Structure 1
Amino acid sequence: MSSWKLTKALRDQIYRYATVKQTGVSLRQMVQFGSKPSPGSLFHASHFAVHELPIRLSHRVKDLETLPNGLAKEPAIQTVRNWYAQSFEELTSLEEPVIKDLEMADILSGEKQYEETAKRQVSSQGSKRPYFFSDDGIVIDRRSHGSVSGGGGAAGASGGVSEDENEVHDLNSAHRHVLIPRPRRHYYIPTPKDIVYPSEVVDYNKLVTKVLTKIKRRHDATVTTIARGVQSWKRKKNFTYLDNSVNQFLDRFYLSRIGIRMLIGQTIALNQQAQGNMYSDDYVGIICLRTNVMEVAQDAIDAARFACEEHYDIMEAPPVQLYCPEDLEFMYVPGHLVHMLFETLKNSLRATIEFHQRLHPNTAIEDIHYPPVKIIVAEGLEDITVKVSDEGGGIPRSTIPLVWTYFYTSAEQRIEEYEPTYSSGSFKPPFMGLGVGLPHSRLYARYFSGDLKLISMEGYGTDVYLHLNRLSSSSEPLQ
């Protein structure tokens, strides 16, 4: 990887793709595959991902190269740019599958639509359903037992008619000589399940899964690497805070990354389900049709407390009390919910420990009696709301706007002092000091039309409100 170079020809190709509009996918469209997707529908999804991802990657490469005031020249920024460019190259280099059987080619063109007549029966299972999640250094594994946290620091639309694969997208007048294959309009297109698909279909799905798995692993450390680059640049420029344009770029970049990883993760998981490597009636890819809020919240609690104990080298982190209906379930991405709760809890646990250390300067950290962090979950018609309450001293009112800017942190360990240790997907983020936790979590909430809000009482504590949209029909907020 170290010998890889971004050539002028590849850059020109990337900039041409960056003129093409991105195509959003709704959560509801993603679950239309069902828990047992057909190879034909997976073929459409794989083809969509192979053609849509380069467009999304190209927009981000262009953004990274046009950052102002020397930020684009930071080594860490260029590292991420190269990751995106290399992934773009790998996807655009994949050969288009050729279906020799004319009848099968007609079916896979998307022109023939097959309506699903049998409704999938969601099986009733135990309260602890098998689940594995690993992303951005958070690992949750309860496939074989109750809940294991840790591992590296802590743990819509209906199917439509597809366009011909050979049709091209006509770009602006400066690039009319460039032919860019236009992807299918829909991520999901129904195809029959009761036929035998040729080897070309199965082989293409396996190839795409292999390539996407490699790309996903390559980008594991993107959030932290971007953070290191911006923090280094901010220190060189002697900036106290980031200006609005850089914050807007980071919002746009990180939100796009969530969408890219969602599309990659969903495509990989769907293919794994089809190959029998991952199966549960509750899941369609990485989307859980019956996400149990209490289970996911408990996973996040275990992971955050484990990370806190490891960071402060204490036997037991402050207690966390969870108030949530046991049977509260809705369709969502458990990995996203884990991210948001984990980051919010990390902040609350850190604030609780450090505030009460200041209140009891002569008491050993192990001997301090910490008040509990409380998580209260309420169910509404539109939203499921999660409130995380701590007694960590709160935030001064003048500082609250800075909480939503990137790389503002009161943690003692700064990101420029932190060297990430990752290889082959074993990336481990720091417990604190990144300064991206809350704004990044808000993006996760907003990705599916939710939100994250904060109310503070200086001298007492902070309440964070996480609103989760349960309508699940909105499409991705692409920029």
Structure 2
Amino acid sequence: MRLINRTLASHLRKSSQHRPKKNDSLRQMIEYYSRFSPSPLSLRQFLDFAQKTGDEKTSFSWLRQELPTRLANMVKEMNRLPDELLVMPSTKLVTSWYNTSFEEVIDFDKNKTDAKNIERFHKVLQGIIQRHRNVVETMAHGIMEWKEKCGNDQSFHQTYQDKIQYFLDRFYTSRIGIRILINQHILLFGDSAVRHPNLYGTIDPNCDVPLVVEDAFTTAKFLCEQYYMGSPEVNVHVHNVSDKEKDSVTIIYAPSHLHHICFELFKNAMRATMERHPDVVDVPPINVWITKGGSDCSIKISDAGGGAARQMTTRWFEYLYSTAPRPPRSEDARVTPLAGYGYGLPISRLYARYLGGDLQVQSMEGYGTDAYIYLKSLSTAAVETVPVFNATTTEQYRRPMLTGDWVVPANQKHKQFMNPFNGKTCKH
């Protein structure tokens, strides 16, 4: 927290040296670019550009228009957040990062597409990636600061939960899209020594789904064994309907995205299994089914970790909700914890949905949980799903909380009701 505040103070001192005229110009440029909608790409378009038609000048020309559009949309939407949240130190820091990045990118708006500007643009993109590496954690800290200042009471949750959920889903999805655009440029046209031989940027034209799943399991297992001194094993079943001659499943995809999703799900499954069976030597294994059809590539991860009640599972995709105790700060922790931050499932679902897929979880209380990952089998159908700022967005933040028009007993715990049979008043 002290580091965040020092970084923020340093940035604000630099910002205060800017002339008001420059700040006014920056706001005008953000307003201008926010009127445009992002131009989503499909995985096929990403791959075709990398394999066939792409060159650095074309990428430079397109990104210097597309990146300001996406950044401006994000900044405008952030400005619709409650003032009490925007003044939190961590939130101000995130806002300053996006303003700075926008300012750096629009500096190339009128520049020539010569070698000098292209090289400078490449360095700016590397700087943006570095600057924004802790956006998720810092924004989460800003939300936590705000909730703590408001007392963390139930009225706060009822008033702001939907709006914060709406904003963070869109904010983090925008971040995913911006990062993949920048990383594609850096990896395709940067130092060839750091390029992966089988990838075009971040995209694998032959992404071996079972291999990525097993790698994610191995990574999660390493953490689990450190934390619990043991780990469940995994059974992987593969069924390729679209190509029966193959005994594996490959699709065009970003392996890093799939690894992130599976890693988070395995962490949850392992933690639940180990805590459900604390004194068992051979804990129940985690079962994985991978299928590929004409439209979808589907992955099911099943555990016998005891499951959870439906009223709990409905909160699993809420930001900052976690059934595990909040972990210690990294400098004080002996080992990396398996859970506790409450962002694993929500962010994983965004990664799945970003390219037209989805992530769903079904739980059987008393037995275990099944997680379903859906990806697009066809690269032409795997299109970026990115938010756009417009009047509808603004209305979402202005709309007051609506009163429920159903009497839901689970939400009426502390209310008084009259018993129609005896006329007595009692708590529900």
Q: 2:359 aligned with 1:452, yes or no? A: yes
For 1:213 and 1:394, locate their aligned partners in 2 and report how far apart those are by CA, in whole Å.
43
Q: Is residue 354–residue 386 contact of structure 2 (8 Å, CA) maintained in 1?
A: no
Distance 1:31 1:391, change over 3 A: same
Structure 1 residues 280-291: aligned runs within 5 Å: 280=197, 282-291=198-207
Q: Identity of counterpart residues, as a percentage? A: 37
User: Contact conserved, 1:43 with 1:204, CA < 8 A, in 2?
Assistant: no
Quick one: structure 1 residues 210 and 347, their matched pair in 2 at CA, closer, same or farther if it must change by over 3 Å? same
Indicate if the aligned counterparts of 2:74 and 2:171 stay in contact, CA closer than 8 A: yes
Q: Distance in 1 between matches of 2:214 and 2:74?
A: 35
Displacement of 1:42 in angstroms is 2.0
2:195: which partner in 1?
A: 278
Cα separation, partners in 2 of 1:4 and 1:37, compared to 1, 3 Å: farther
Q: CA deviation at 1:36?
A: 7.0
Quote how far apart the aligned CAs of 1:249 are: 0.7
Letter in 2 for 1:439: P
2:368 matched to which residue of 1?
A: 461
Q: Distance in 2 between matches of 1:33 and 1:23?
A: 15
Contact kept in structure 2, 1:205 and 1:271, CA below 8 Å: no
Code of the residue aligned with 2:289 in structure 1: it is I
Q: Once the 2 structures are TM-superposed, how far is the Cα of residue 276 of structure 1 from its aligned partner? A: 6.0
CA distance in structure 1 between the aligned counterparts of 2:141 and 2:120, rounded to whole angstroms? 33
Letter in 2 for 1:4: H
| Count of aligned pairs | 355
TM-score (norm 1): 0.68
Aligned residue for 1:31?
47
Q: 1:127-154 CA deviation, whole Å, 9 max, x = no partner?
A: xxxxxxxxxxxxxxxxxxxxxxxxxxxx
After TM superposition, list the pairs within 5 Å mapping 1:72-151 onto structure 2. 72-94=86-108, 96-98=110-112
In the alignment, the residues of structure 2 paired with residue 439 and residue 404 of structure 1 have an alpha-carbon distance, to the nearest angstrom, of 5
Name the structure where helix makes up a greater proportion of residues.
2
For structure 1, which runs of at least 5 residues remain unmatched after alignment? 100-199, 358-362, 422-427
The structural deviation recorded for 1:70 is: 1.4
Q: TM-score, normalising length from structure 2?
A: 0.76
1:32-61 CA-to-partner distances (Å, cap 9, x unmatched) read: 1244766xx221112211221122112222
Which of 400, 409, 420 is the aligned partner of 2:322?
Answer: 409
For residues 23 and 373 of structure 1, the distance between their equivalents in structure 2, rounded to whole angstroms, comes to 40
CA distance in 1, matches of 2:27, 2:355: 32
Q: Which amino acid aligns with 1:340?
A: I
The answer for the alignment partner of 2:271 in structure 1 is 350
Give 5+ residue unaligned stretches, structure 2. Answer: 1-6, 240-246, 388-428
Give matches, 1:173-322, under 5 Å. Answer: 200-201=114-115, 203-237=116-150, 238-240=152-154, 241=157, 243-272=161-190, 275=192, 277-278=194-195, 280=197, 282-310=198-226, 312=227, 314-322=228-236
Distance in 2 of aligned mates of 1:458 and 1:98:
62
Letter in 1 for 2:238: C
What SS does structure 2 have at the residue aligned with 1:445? helix
Root-mean-square deviation (CA), in Å? 2.5
How far apart, CA to CA, are the structure 2 residues paired with 1:258 and 1:382? 23
Equivalent residues of 1:293, 1:328 under 8 A apart: yes
Q: Compare relative contact order (CA 8 Å, sep 6+) and give the higher one, 1 or 2.
A: 1
String of CA shifts for 1:63-93, please: whole Å, max 9, x gaps: 2232126122221111111111111122122
Letter paired with 2:301: V
Matched letter for residue 51 of structure 1: Q
| Deviations, residues 161-206 of structure 1 (Å, cap 9, x unaligned) | xxxxxxxxxxxxxxxxxxxxxxxxxxxxxxxxxxxxxxx34x4443
- In the TM superposition, what whole-angstrom CA distance separates every residue of 1:215-235 from its partner, at most 9, and x where no partner exists? 112211111211122123223
Deviation at 1:28, TM superposition (A): 1.3
